[in-house]
Amino acid sequence: MSRFRGQDGHTGHESNAEAQLLIALQEAYGKLEINERPFTDVTLPLRVTKPDFWFPGAKVAVYLDGPHHTHNKVAERDIEIDSLLEKQGIKVLRLPYTPPLSKTNQGLFLAVIKESVNR
């Protein structure tokens, strides 16, 4: 997961948005609403990338993209990584958001992830 300081000053390994979505994903998995448990902090072997959430069975990599992903160099790197992963049969979900992650966006992101993983 990304190494960003959250809005509340949290200095853990994930942003607040990633932590919130991880909790929602774990709850959905517990309720059997999603077919696979998400993994975090997993490095994929192509140009060294760590998706925020990785579903190996479904081959889905999820990235929560904050505002810094709109900068040219970061956006170009994201496009390159997406292309490399897609060539390996990995579905890439890039979910752009502006902190803090709203409950509405969290619900939308959860629905998109469920749809991709449960196929």
Residues 2-11: pLDDT tens digits?
433 344 444 4
Residues 39-78: pLDDT tens digits?
888 877 766 789 999 999 999 999 999 999 888 999 999 9
* pTM (predicted TM-score): 0.73
CA distances in angstroms from 25 to 14, 37, 90, 113, listed in the order given:
15, 8, 19, 9
Domain ranges, ordered by start, for the chain: 21-117
Which fold, 21-117? Endonuclease; Chain A (3.40.960)
